[in-house]
Structure 1
Amino acid sequence: MPRMSRSVVIALLVTASCAFLLFQLQNHRKHASAMHVLGQNGRRTHNAQWHAVKRFLGVVRRLALPAFLADPAALQLITQDASPRRQEVAGCSFLCTGRRATAFAAIAGNWKYDHAAVTLAAAQSGLEVVHVRGRDPRLVVLGGEDDLAGAAIPLHFLFRSERGHIVQLVLLYQRGRDFLWHGPLRLQRTHDRGLAPPGLLQYGRHAGAYERVELVLTVLDGLDMRVPRNTSHFLFQRSHAHFLECRHGNARTFLQLYPDDPSPAAAEFRRGARSVLALAASTLRALGVPFWISSATCLGWYRQCGFISYSRDVDIGIWVRDFRPDMVAAFRHAGLPLKHKFGKVEDSLELSFQEVGGVKLDIFFFYDDNGDGDVVWNGGTQARTGRKFKYVFPRFSLCWAELAGVLVRAPCTTLDYVRANYGHDAWATPITTWDWKSSPANVLANGAWPPSEWDNVIQLY
């Protein structure tokens, strides 16, 4: 084989090097093109949420709807950045959370709903809208004819952009005198349910209750909108907003079988009980102490959506860890002086307050011995003998409820709570003779206070 000249070898090497460089350049271009597409897709996803919110705010302006940002993920970002500033759209620091849905809310009291107007405004902004309606529980009247055929109200709107992003609008209605309520989200049609797979939307599985929300106008990611002034408090409320509706149908059936006492004395008790409950709620709210309706007051709410006229007092529960020494002074200042104090903070504490001639308020403090056990309990003391009693309940969490127009908490597993106290089935039948030491299904003897402690643990006023 003839030997190649030096120049030929050099030419071949140069040719190979150029081919390799061209190959590398082609791969680089392919990689750069792929990264460019990825970046475009990322921005497209990033902007889909922002554009959907922008279009939704156009609907809000057309309808003069007082909406505000209620999205937990976005509000959390605002909480971390205590002073939201005008942002460039490309930055999208608050609204582009990466979720497929963004939540807003509106206080609906002064806004007149018009199905056609909402649909038209959505279409003009390039959005598809689903109207979710439900019964208005504020119109239910116990003991009377219940014709709610025309009582449906809008509860939620779902606005969907062509890119698939959903803006959920939750409507808040005033309930009672001091709180806002939204209904549950119940999608009826297959098409509507396909818009919002389980877990996508932040509001709607349960009804919710909130204190009044103070709003401020601000600019987020270049868009003018209202947000809660205290975002941290609103987020806290949202995480504890689960609201239990009174069982109006069951209560109506019960009251048909066992009509409420129509006497003036019973009517006066119900009026006084409502007043005392409202006073307790406002006093404890000012102290930052959560409470729930307990004993006969809880039974009355669950069974008949009202007070049990023959119970003659109002019963509430408080976790002993929430006890505050200034509680007695706060109730005295509110017009409810201390009537008796049993037990001590460490064991079986019970306080009762009563204005002369008024309805008595009993506060039972609940204990959680194990911290994560299956049961909790409150105590009782017999003043004459110093005997102690314990009332055991299955562990429970708290939900909001409404009793006589007052926002209160109740055990979320209310039936289990009521059954523990009154028996598996006995709770459903009125029992007018009741001995607190022996009648409750969950009462246990718990020893006795030593006489040396009586001056401290048995105080009557």
Structure 2
Amino acid sequence: MPSDWKAFKRDWKNGKYLECTPLLERPKNTSRKIPIKFLDRLVEFSNLLDKHNATAFLMGGTLLGWARECSLIPHTKDTDFGMFSEEHSESLLREILSSKIFEIYWVLGRLKNSFELSVIVDEIKIDLFYVYKTTNSTENASISGMRYWSKQRVQWNYPKLSGEFCAVEMHGRLLHVLCDYYKIVESKSLYTNQKWIGLLENRIR
């Protein structure tokens, strides 16, 4: 029997593995803004959340990098995680704010509808966006953010998401995505190029 049964059940539930098949191959000597070894920091930050029963999943350009090339996008300068807002806890926030490893870059928005925070480690930023489930008939998740220069709240809506987590591998490191991550990628036409959306759809089918 596992010593921590609750943790074991949670890991088992979130352990369905999704294999990544790269749609884009890059030379091994590709110059990168963020070194591959920084993935260890992403795992460390993810583990911090996990300790408080919260699951960090890849979002934004970091999700696209995994989906498109099973790696970090070479020109990206920061990394992105999402977390469902209902997994928030004061103990988690206290640990992040008091961390001696992850230095707070900023905290924006309100916990009830628009929270996000960013930390700096090894001079690279990790953004954590809270994802809010909504009751809208066509969308059930949103990310709210803020244009800090104008203090204007903005919101991005996503199609209905399962809320289920899957395990993925990036250069030997274990991380998580939403099992229906492709809905996020497809909903973001701003994700560089429609060609990648079509390739993703073909791979999923």
Partner of 1:436: none
SS of residue matched to 2:129: strand
Q: Counterpart of 2:89 in structure 1: which amino acid?
A: R
Q: Which of residues 335, 345, 350 is equivalent to 2:116?
A: 350
Check conservation: 2:34, 2:76, Cα contact below 8 A: no
Bigger helix fraction: 1
Q: Counterpart of 2:65 in structure 1: which amino acid?
A: G
Q: Which of residues 401, 411, 414 is equivalent to 2:181?
A: 414
Partner of 1:305: 70
How many Å apart are 1:326 and its aligned residue?
A: 3.3
Check conservation: 1:261, 1:309, Cα contact below 8 A: no
SS of residue matched to 1:346: coil
How many Å apart are 1:359 and its aligned residue?
A: 1.0
How many Å apart are 1:314 and its aligned residue?
A: 1.1
How many Å apart are 1:334 and its aligned residue?
A: 4.5
How many Å apart are 1:415 and its aligned residue?
A: 1.9
Specify whether residues 279 and 412 from structure 1 end up closer, same or farther in structure 2 by C-alpha distance, changes over 3 A only: same
**Gapped regions of structure 1 (runs ≥ 5):** 1-226, 430-461
How many Å apart are 1:274 and its aligned residue?
A: 1.0
Matches of 1:385 and 1:374, distance apart in 2: 27
Q: Which of residues 162, 182, 194 is equivalent to 1:426?
A: 194
Check conservation: 2:36, 2:72, Cα contact below 8 A: no
Specify whether residues 346 and 326 from structure 1 end up closer, same or farther in structure 2 by C-alpha distance, changes over 3 A only: same
Q: Counterpart of 2:115 in structure 1: which amino acid?
A: L
Matches of 1:282 and 1:341, distance apart in 2: 20
TM-score by length of 2: 0.81
Q: Counterpart of 1:322 in structure 2: which amino acid?
A: E
How many Å apart are 1:375 and its aligned residue?
A: 2.6
Partner of 1:381: 146
Matches of 2:167 and 2:137, distance apart in 1: 23
Q: Give per-residue Cα distances to partners, 1:225-261, cap 9 Å, x unaligned.
A: xx545555544443443211111xxx1x5125xx577
Check conservation: 1:313, 1:360, Cα contact below 8 A: yes
Check conservation: 2:78, 2:127, Cα contact below 8 A: yes
Identity %: 19
SS of residue matched to 1:354: strand
Specify whether residues 387 and 336 from structure 1 end up closer, same or farther in structure 2 by C-alpha distance, changes over 3 A only: same
Specify whether residues 334 and 390 from structure 1 end up closer, same or farther in structure 2 by C-alpha distance, changes over 3 A only: same
Matches of 1:310 and 1:406, distance apart in 2: 20
SS of residue matched to 1:243: coil
Partner of 1:205: none
Q: Counterpart of 1:300 in structure 2: which amino acid?
A: G
Matches of 1:427 and 1:348, distance apart in 2: 31
- What root-mean-square deviation, in Å, do the aligned CA atoms of Structure 1 and Structure 2 show? 2.7
Q: How many equivalent residue pairs?
A: 193
Q: Give per-residue Cα distances to partners, 1:347-392, cap 9 Å, x unaligned.
A: 211100013x511010000111228864311012111111221111
Partner of 1:322: 87
Matches of 2:130 and 2:111, distance apart in 1: 8
SS of residue matched to 2:155: strand
Matches of 2:119 and 2:17, distance apart in 1: 28
Matches of 2:95 and 2:86, distance apart in 1: 18
Check conservation: 2:138, 2:159, Cα contact below 8 A: no
How many Å apart are 1:398 and its aligned residue?
A: 2.0
How many Å apart are 1:327 and its aligned residue?
A: 3.0
Specify whether residues 228 and 341 from structure 1 end up closer, same or farther in structure 2 by C-alpha distance, changes over 3 A only: closer
Check conservation: 1:313, 1:359, Cα contact below 8 A: yes
SS of residue matched to 1:370: coil
Task: Name the larger-Rg structure.
Answer: 1
TM-score by length of 1: 0.38
Q: How does 1:179-194 map to 2 (within 5 A)?
A: none
Matches of 2:87 and 2:5, distance apart in 1: 24
SS of residue matched to 1:347: coil
Specify whether residues 334 and 271 from structure 1 end up closer, same or farther in structure 2 by C-alpha distance, changes over 3 A only: farther
Check conservation: 2:117, 2:129, Cα contact below 8 A: yes
Specify whether residues 390 and 405 from structure 1 end up closer, same or farther in structure 2 by C-alpha distance, changes over 3 A only: same
Q: Give per-residue Cα distances to partners, 1:241-300, cap 9 Å, x unaligned.
A: 3211111xxx1x5125xx57723xx2x612353132022122112222111010111100
SS of residue matched to 2:114: strand
Q: Give per-residue Cα distances to partners, 1:298-326, cap 9 Å, x unaligned.
A: 10011100111211111000111111233
SS of residue matched to 1:391: strand
How many Å apart are 1:413 and its aligned residue?
A: 1.6
